Every structure is written in structure tokens, then in C-alpha cells.
Amino acid sequence: MHLNDNVSNKPYPFGFKFFACRRRSLSSWPLLIVLFLLSYTARAQDNNPLITLSEKNVPLTTIFSKIEAQTSYQFLYENKLLERVKKVSIDTKNMPLVKVLELLNMNLAKQQLGLKIIDKTIVLKQLAAITPIPFRSTGIIINAVTKLPIQGVTVKSKREPYIAGATNAEGYFDLPGFQGDTLIVSYIGFETLEIVASGSKTANFSLKPMSKTLDEVVVTNGYQELDQRTLTSAITTLKAKDILVPGIFTIDQALEGRVPGLFVVNNSGEVGSAPKIRIRGTSTILGNQDPVWVVDGVVVNSPLNIDPQTVNDLDFVNRLGNAISGLNPADIDEINVLKDASATALYGVRAANGVIVITTKKGHAGPPVINYSISGTFTGRPSYNNINVMNSQQRIQYSEELVAKGLNYPSVINYVGYEGALHDLYDGTTNYGQFEQQVGQMETRNTDWFGAITQNTLATQNNLSISGGSNKMRYFVSLGVSDEPGTIRGDKVKRYTSTVNLNADINDKLQWNMSLISDIDQRNFVAQSVNALNYAYNTSRAIPLYNPDGSLSYYQRYSQADDNYFDFNILNEINNSRDISNGGSIRLNTNLNYKISNVLKATVLFAYSYSNTTEQISYGANTFYAANLRGSDYGVPLTSAEQYETTLPVGGELQTNLTRNNSYTVRTQFDFNKSFGNNNINLITATLGGEASSNQYTGYSTDRRGYLPDRGETFAAIDPTKYPSYAQWALLDDADVIKDELTNLLSAYFTTSYTYNSRYTLNFNTRTDFSNKFGSESNSKFLPTWSVSGRWDMAQDLFKDSKTVNVLAFRGSYGYQGNMLDYQTPNLIIKQGDPDPITGENSSTIAYYPNPNLQWEKTGEINTAIDFSFLQNKINGSLSYFYKKTTNAFLDKAVSDINGLDTYVVNSGQLVNQGLEVALSFTPINGGNGFKWRIDPQLGEVINKLIGNALNTNVQNQATGNPNTFSNYLNGTALINGKAINSFYSYQFAGLSHTNGMPTFKNDDPSNAALYASLTNDQVYQMVMQPSGNRIPTIQGGINNYFSYKSVFLSCNLTYSLGAKVRLFALYPDDANGVAGNPGPLPEENVSAEFLKRWQNPGDETHTTIPALLNYNDYVNTELHWSYGQTYQYANNIWQMYDNSDIRIVSADYLRVSALQIGFKIPDKILKKWKLKDTFISLAGTNLFTLDSRLLHGQDPSQAGFSAATQVPIQPTYSFNLSVSL
């Protein structure tokens, strides 16, 4: 209480006044004098006399006199006050005076009166007389270090009624209250401060930042909030605002190089495609290798159910989006990446590949803060500048030589380009003069396929959010629109998002949170079968795109399916072959928290999500695709024979795939948190919860022909008798497919930890799941996931009070997870089939053989780490090592076909993943208001190894018994003992032949036939091929720099990736039949400019590795490899071998400027004029520069060259961003 300040102009400066008592009537004496006098007169009495009273319904004065009679105390009161007191009863026996007064005070409290001993006088005073003077506490909160005002600081009065507010952008606060109120000032990351505001509007209060170490931050694993100071698990926490730069449209793109141990593999730069993420390696072979995504504590499912084998395929481009594609990155507050077993144990078996927990933004108490941001992102298209293919003239010359050599093409040939002109000359359509003229035109044509097929794009992102609220209720609402055109002409992804987050404190005990996140997702692509970019890469520039009159120029392209030629123009295909997907999702997440007592809290959570994705793939009647089915060119009437054969008589085709996802989670959780002992030195926390979740995919696929998109999107009526083949297709072959897949999961989890003296922490987690999957009825029914972990804060023991070592903590964890495959049970599972065609009896087939001996796949993981902070927190970081071993790994083992099946899932593999992770953060320069530089290097290394101990592998380096094929070896899907998953092999190039420049390979001689026949296939493959490395990098990391000087900031994020290898694009791509290794390019195809350096004359083999053009006889002999048809066949032909040989392997190591941003905060003076708050503009670029192997010849390291389809390279983007707050 501050009663005595500031007496000047107030009539009654004291809290209360004294008036007459019974004996003496006093006028308005100053209190202190009265007290002084009274205390002086009553000095000699004993201190706490015992009182005996037995009064019923007597006036207060009666009691006063009785007490006076028994003691030396006297009562002092104002008569006016006594009028308010009703009659009082009291019954005491030898009770100390203090106690008696307490009893009386309880009676008097209602009248706002109280008795108080002041020396030897007992004063009856009016409590309400404290009525303070209305007052406005004002001031400015500044950062003690930077001396800059802080926005959003909570300022709250210490006494009831609690009044709270927040500072504005100038750090200014203004709270109603009373003179002298104590205010509590708090802000995340700063020490809490108590102040008494003077009322001065300019008074500064400094808030000291908390020591900026790893501590203080509360991290979440989705189920609990964990104090980082006692954290025992491997969790990396990122603030979304630190990693997001304009030009990034989904959060997964922003994770590259930010989290040690989290590898991002971008296999395509196509708009909307999701990157592949691996956390701490690959710990399962047959199961899904992706991490689990969690938003606000609830696992989110992908809108589409793609099977694990497809998702795991490194060449699979997921352009329909993953679980978090619909989430606006601007709505994300924080990302926690859970890496070790201790962190993920609470998620059970699903989480063996790590968990990424996203927390969305919440509102803070205070006046509404409106934020609007707009960004525009420019992406340049790929062009011939960095692509190594021939121009028209080179290509024509190449053809001339092909013809001169008499090289026979495959029997299918399109007469276009040089060959076409020559054909016309030969059959007399043209004369030599015309021929020369045509060739001359072609040589200078240089069609810009990239210009025609790809486009420069400008993507935009608009986000509007409002947040704020009162102490009791806080809100965050946001709307977002992003419009992202793709570099392939016609590709576009549009997304509309909205988020509502409400947090309400209903009363002291009950708290309610609700969030509603919804999105609409529109994706418009060129149908995948068109493979537009491939066309740009591989089409001869001598072929025209347009006719001289400006119309599209068509040529006859070979169709393998129909063994025929049809008109083709790529722009016509792009425009009329569309893959349009419309998706929408809504996620509701609500929970109630109830504080049962100070130590026990209960939570009920309910989350529901619904998503709907409709993908429509359409082909117009004028497409090559339709011509293929129809059997005739567009507009050419069908002959009667064709009518009989055609499966598409009229119009085009429309394929519709609809997928709905419905899922819900219900969770009840109890949290216990108790400290005890001296100074609360022991802390026990525990969480017990139960959860039911259900996830259902339903949908259907249809395929309809006769589609007339330009005639009101109708379907033509087709007479089945006139078109019997179509009728057969429509009635028999084209069955609609309905999908229905339901996964229910019932789980219980428990976690507890004990901390002593905030130095030693021990933690235990466990969870068990029961599901409705067929695999759940496995042999060993019950296998919980569990982990133990601990932390020792060594600095407190060893470096107490050290100025150099601020934090030094050791963390360790061990955890154990089991995994069961769906459908592998000791029971027979049958698949219901069609009724028997003749008897009509129901029939079923065996879907899954009983697998009674299958055990759980078990993964044990050790994680050790040291967290440190040195030199007054200038250097922070952590160093981790993990060792993850999967035993009993599921492998498809080959078994004798006498068992009725070829492969069978067995527990025969072991997978080891180990690695080092380094996360550092330096602040070399921290000049207060001036220059600041922070640098955070990250490094993650993961080494993966498969140890197969399958039956009878007594031969060293034998495969695990898996049915590996030679293409498995070449594309990195073979499973080989002692090799990392995704290792791939290549043929061993042995130089070009001196005689004809043909490529030769080691151990590739027909004289080996007898030897190879006596070996297993794997042994043969390993003789003719050698390991080339891995498709997944072993080291990935990033270096993040942040500079700021006054209101300008610059951030620069470098990412690097080491250890992966890629193949160069094939020199001999697939032929028209899809067979790899086509030595004679079709006239329409372009060829790599590498051929300019090809072998021409004997002796060239010393300085070139590019094979020669063979003469006809030699060429024919190379069409089929000599091992063709043998059980050990290991190649298609030498051209396919050449493309897959070791000289076509290049390191995919890169160092990339993945993000660069320069921002400028608008000075406050200007902002004030416009009534704005926190406003900044920034320029950003992503993927601006990549340092990679020069042997890639312009190929992007993300373009792996393993599959026939060429993926869009990662392109640089340039963005402008403006963010305004009101």
C-alpha cells in the first residue's frame, strides 16, 4: 500500500478517518498523531491476552467493553460505523485476542468493517474506505537491450479485479485502475516485471529479455506442452515466420535445410507437387516411409489414399497434394519436428518415420490487430540456354549422317523432318530443288519448344488476418488466397483458405479452444500422359509448331497401341488434355480444458475433418489420345472395319476419380503436475489419455467415352450394335470402381517424468493401439510402443556460476516401436470376386495367405545429445547422435512357387540408420540498436544400411532373397544385403570399340553365358554392374544467416545436400514401344548435343565416351542384348546399358541459395501518418543460385534421370512482398 505519496490536492489524503471513541471524542486528527498518542498510553499491557466471552445477540459495543475489561486494550471507533453493525454472538474460552478479533472480523466483513490492532488500540475501520482514486496507469514498455518498444506485451493489475491490456506498436499501454496499482508486465521471452505506473505517458519501463538460450521455449509434441529446459527428446522447434519466405506456398517446401536429420527430396519443380520428406532415414521397407503430420494436436490424413509403395517411389510426383497442402503457411505459428523414439512414442506405431507437429496461430489479448500481406512471385521458365540438346542445323546434319550410314530405323518411322523431306524426294512428291529448299528451312527453323510449352509465371499470395481479444476470449481469423500458375503452360494451382481460432477462458477452471480450418484447392494440369516437358526436351527443333499461315502444324505421330499414325501437335494436346482436380477440406478441432485442482487438469478433444477431391481427366476428340482409341484422325470418318474395332466412336474421354475423406478423433486426457519437497525441488508430471480415431476414404472412379466438352459438356449417345468393340469396352471392360476404406484406431497412452532440482529429468512414454485393420490380429497381439529418456543439466553441477558455460545438458533416450503390416495375419483372408459366369455361385480368391509366423517389425532407437550455450548465450547449439535399428524388418521374400505364391512377407531384414546432427546458432554481432548478425548452421547426416539375414544367403553379398530384377538394380529399388536402401547399380563402361565406336562393358561378353547360367541372378547383376551410390543424400543441411541494421533486415538461407547420385538424361531414350535404349532417334526426336562429340574415327575412343553412329549391320546386331530371354537377362541392349552405365552417373551434391530476403521496416514516423503499425516491404528470391557438378550439363540435381518422364527442374523465383498491420 502506498498511502502517503501525493497528498497535495486531495481533500482526504488518507485511506480513512478517525472519529470519537467511547471515552474520548476525537475530531479529525491526523492518524499518525493519534496512533502515536494511543500507543504511548497503553504501553505496559501484555501482548496477546486470553479472552473468555459468551454473548448472544449483543451489540458490538458490549463485546468491546468486555474485552476492554479483560485486557489492557482499548477500542477506537466512529459511532457512525456502529449503526451498520447488527447484533453479534460470540463464544470463546481462553482464546487469544488475535483469534477473537479474527472471529469478529468474519462477522464484520459483510459490512466492510474490520478490527485491527494498532499498538494497544483496537481500531474499527471501514475497509471500503480504501476506495482509491480513479487513475490511468500509462507508460511505455521497452526492450532493455535494444531500447526499442515492444508490442503485444501483457500488462495486468496485480489485485482484483484483474484488469489487463497489451502494448501497442509503440510499446504504449494505458490501463484504467487506481493510483498506486501494481502492474505485472509479461511477455514471452522476457522476464516478468512488476511496476507501479506513475501516470506519465512517456515513462519507460525496461523489460529484460530472458537469457536467449534453448530454454524458456515451450515446445509441444501435440499432446503436451514441454518445457525445453527439461526436455529429454529430440525435437526441433521452428517459428514459421523465421522460415517462410514469399514464393513458398506450402510449409513442407520451407523445411529444407532447417532441421538436422530431416531430408527434403524435391523430385519435381512442378507447381503444387509435394516434396518427399524423410526423417532420420528409412526405417521400413514395405511400410509408408513418410512422416506423420499433426496440426494442433491431431493427426491429419492425406486427402487421397495412395498406397505406400507408390508414395515411397522416388520417381512418383504427387501433384494432388499431401496432408498439409491445404494449410496456408501464413496461418502457421510454429513447427515442431519430433525425431527420436522418445518424442514420437506417444503417436504409436504410425510415427516410426517421425512426426511434424504444426501449431496454428492464436489470438493475443489486446485490441484487434489487422494484418494484410500481399506477395507476387515471378518464376522463370526453363529454356534452351541451359539444356544441352541440338539446334535444328545440328539435328539435320545428324540425320544426314544417319541416312548416309544407312542406319535402319525401327520399322515405325514418322516421315517428318529431314527424313520426311527425303521420303518425299524419293517417292517423287518433290524434286531436288524443293528438297533442298525444305532442308534449308528446317535448318534455320529452331522451333522454341520450351517457349511454346512453358511459360514465365507470376504467382500471387494474399493473406488477411485479424487477431486480438480480451483476457477472457481471444481470436485469430484469417483468409488467404494463393494463385500459383505452373511453368508448364496451362498448369495452375489455386487455393483459398480460411482459419478461425478461438480461445476462451470460461471461468477460472474451464477453458475452451476451437479452430476451424478450411480450404478450397483447384488444380489444373496438363494430363500426365501428355508428358509435355518431356516433349520439349526431346523433340527436334526442325519440326514446326505452326504453319506459315499461323495455324497449328500437325505431323503424323506413331501410336504403339494402335500400330498407326495420327496427327499430333503438342499445343493441341496441352489445350485439350486436362487433368483438373477440385478439392476442399474442412477441419474442426475443439477442446475443453478443465482444471480439476491445482495439480490435475483434464482435457476433452474432438476433431473432425472432411475433404473431398474430384479429379477429372479429360481428353477432347481432337487429341492424339482420342485418335488412338478411335483409330482415325480427328474429323476423318470411320470405315466400317474401323467402326467395328473402335472403342471411341465419338467425342473424347472423361475419367473421374472422386475421393472423400472423413475422419474424426476423440480424446480424453488427464495431466498431472505437482511439485513438492523443500523449495518444490521435486517435480512430477504425468499424462494419461485415451483416444479413438477413425479415418475413412470413400470414392469412386469412372471412365466415360463419347465426352463432348465443347457441346455443353454432354455425352454422345453411342449405338452399341453399330460399335460392338466400344460396347464391349463400355459394358464389360470399363467397370466403375467404388472405394471404401475405413481405419479405426483405439489407443491409450501414458507419459510421466520426474525432475529433481531442475537438473535431472527422467521420462517414460508408452502407447498402445488397437485397430480394425486385418493386420491387427497378428500373432503377437499386444506390443506397446515405449521409450525412456533422461536429461542431466551438467552446467548446474559442473559449471555453476560460470560466465562462459551457460547451458550444458546431456540428453539420452531409448525407445522401441513395433509395426505390423496390414493384412498379414495368421488367418486366411479372401477377396470376394464376381459370381461364377456359368453357375452363378459366389466365388472368392485368396487375397492374403495366412502368415502365422510373422512377428512385429521392431525399431529400437538410441538418441544422445548435448545441448549447450556458451559465452553469455552467444553460441548455442546441440549435437546429437542417433542409432536406429529395425529388426525383423518386413521383406518380401521369394519362396518356392510350389507354395502357390512367389513372395511372402517375412521378418528377415535388419535396417540400421545412424547419424549425426548438429544445430548451431551464433550471434557474432549484436549491436543493440545497430547491426546484428546471427548465423545458424545445421547439419544432418544419416547413413542407412540393410542387413538381410534371409534364408540361405551363404553367398556373400547375395540379395536378401528378394526377387530383384535388373531394373531394380538400375533404379535403386533392389534390396541388397549390406547396402543402403535406394542404392543403385550401373553397368561398367569399358570404353568405345576401336573399330566402330560401339560402347563396351565389363563382364558383358557372351562367353560368360555358361558361367552366368550357373549363378543366381543377383550374382550375375553384381558381376555386370557395380554400385553407383545412393539416390538419397547422406548429408543435408543449411546455413541460415540473418542480418539487421536498424529497420533493414536481410536473411539468407543456404541449403546443401551431399552424397546422392543421379543419372544423366538418357542419350538413347525409350523407343516408340516404350523399350529403353533406342539407338536411332526418330525423325521427330531431338538428340543431346553431346553427340556432337561422338566417336567418328578409330582413335577417337581415347578422348570421347560418346558412342558412334553404327552402320546398319552393326546396328541390327545391337537391337537385342545377347542375354535376352535367359533367366539371368541383365540388359535390353547396349544402348540401354550405356545410358545406365557408370560414366553416366553424376554427383547430385549441391549448395543452393534456397532463400534470400531483404526487408525494410517502414519507419514509425511515416506509419503514424498513415495510422499503420508494423509494416514492411521485402524482396525475396528462392533457389537463386545452385552450385552443383558441372558434369550435369544444365540438368538439375533434382532431375534424377531414373524414369523416362522428365521432371520440371527447380526454377529460381523472385518475389515482392508487402505486409501491413493496422
Partner 1 sequence: MLFFLPVILLISGCKKFLTSDSQDLQYADTYTKLDELLVGSGYEQHPAQDGAYDDMFSTYETQMYFPWLNVMDDDITEFVSGFDYNSYGRDTREEVFGFYTWQSNPFVSSSYVPGTDDMWPKVYTAINAVNIIAEKATQLNDNPTQLRRIRGEALFLRAGYYFDMVNLYAGAYNKATAATDMGVPLKITDFVEDRFFSRSTIDSVYRQIVADLAEAETDLTGVTQKNIYHADINAVNLLQSRVFLYMQDWSDASTAADKVIARKGTLYNLAGYQHQTSFLSSASPEAIFTQGGNAMIYNMLEGATVSFCPSPELMNLYTSTDLRKNAFFELDEVGKYRYIKVYRSVAANILPTETYSDNFFLRTAEAYLNKAEAAAMMGNTVAANQAINTLRQARFLAKDFQPVSYSGGQLVDFIRDERRRELCFEGDRWFDLKRYAVNTQYPFSESIVHTYSKTDENVAPYIAATLTLAPNDPAYLIPIPAPAITFNQGALKQNPTRPNRQF
Pick 798 or 847: Cβ nearer partner 1: 847
Give Rg (Cα) of the chain. Answer: 39
Look at residues 521, 517, 460, 469 and name the one whose alpha carbon lies nearest to residue 496: 521
How many Cα neighbours within 13 Å face the side chain of 433? 0
- What is the C-alpha separation between 531 and 877, in angstroms, rounded? 46
Least CB distance to partner 1 at residue 980 (A)? 26
Pick 117 or 596: Cβ nearer partner 1: 596
Pick 372 or 904: Cβ nearer partner 1: 904
Pick 692 or 1153: Cβ nearer partner 1: 692
Inter-residue contact 1142 to 986 (CB < 8 Å): yes
Pick 45 or 728: Cβ nearer partner 1: 728
Least CB distance to partner 1 at residue 669 (A)? 9
Inter-residue contact 366 to 469 (CB < 8 Å): yes
Least CB distance to partner 1 at residue 438 (A)? 36
Least CB distance to partner 1 at residue 515 (A)? 19
Label each residue of 975-1019 as H, E or C: CECCCCCCEEEEECEEEECCCCCCEEECCCCHHHHHHHHCCCHHH
Least CB distance to partner 1 at residue 516 (A)? 21
Least CB distance to partner 1 at residue 554 (A)? 30
Pick 604 or 1166: Cβ nearer partner 1: 604
How many Cβ atoms sit within 10 Å of the Cβ of residue 994? 14
Binding footprint of partner 1 on the chain (CB under 8 A):
592, 594, 602, 604, 666-668, 670, 690, 692, 694, 724, 728, 738-742, 744, 746, 770-774, 776-777, 823, 827-833, 836-839, 841-852, 893-902, 904, 906, 951-952, 1016-1017, 1125-1127
Pick 406 or 724: Cβ nearer partner 1: 724
Q: Which residues of 752-770 are buried (b: 16+ CB within 10 A; e: fewer)?
A: ebbbeebbebbbbbbbbbe
Look at residues 955, 876, 859, 1036 and name the one whose alpha carbon lies nearest to residue 284: 859
Pick 132 or 833: Cβ nearer partner 1: 833
- What is the C-alpha separation between 599 and 685, in angstroms, rounded? 9
Inter-residue contact 100 to 92 (CB < 8 Å): yes
How many Cβ atoms sit within 10 Å of the Cβ of residue 720? 12
Least CB distance to partner 1 at residue 86 (A)? 42
Q: Kindly tell me the burial class for residue 933, based on how many C-beta atoms sit within 10 Å of its own C-beta (0-12, 13-18, 19 or more).
A: middle
Return the H-helix or E-strand segment holding 574.
helix 570-576
Least CB distance to partner 1 at residue 602 (A)? 5
DSSP E strand stretches across 280-438 = 292-295, 298-300, 332-338, 355-360, 366-379
- Measure Cα distances from 1020 to 1023, 1030, 1034, 1118 in Å: 5, 21, 28, 20
Cell numbers placing 310: 507408390
Cell numbers placing 844: 472368392
Least CB distance to partner 1 at residue 834 (A)? 9
- What is the C-alpha separation between 358 and 590, in angstroms, rounded? 16
Report the first-to-last Cα separation within the chain, whole angstroms. Answer: 39
Look at residues 1108, 1081, 1102 and name the one whose alpha carbon lies nearest to residue 991: 1102
Least CB distance to partner 1 at residue 369 (A)? 34
Q: Are strands 292-295 and 355-360 parallel, antiparallel or unpaired?
A: parallel
Pick 182 or 843: Cβ nearer partner 1: 843
Inter-residue contact 986 to 970 (CB < 8 Å): yes
Amino acid at 1131: A
Pick 666 or 1172: Cβ nearer partner 1: 666
Least CB distance to partner 1 at residue 1191 (A)? 39
Residue linked to cell 503485444: 152
- What is the C-alpha separation between 320 and 306, in angstroms, rounded? 10
Least CB distance to partner 1 at residue 823 (A)? 7
Pick 568 or 697: Cβ nearer partner 1: 697
Least CB distance to partner 1 at residue 659 (A)? 14
Pick 1017 or 1088: Cβ nearer partner 1: 1017
Pick 671 or 1084: Cβ nearer partner 1: 671
- Measure Cα distances from 901 to 751, 846, 849, 893, 1217 in Å: 44, 11, 9, 11, 59
Pick 161 or 837: Cβ nearer partner 1: 837
Cell numbers placing 938: 545445421
Inter-residue contact 743 to 695 (CB < 8 Å): yes
Pick 374 or 829: Cβ nearer partner 1: 829
Least CB distance to partner 1 at residue 724 (A)? 7
Least CB distance to partner 1 at residue 740 (A)? 4
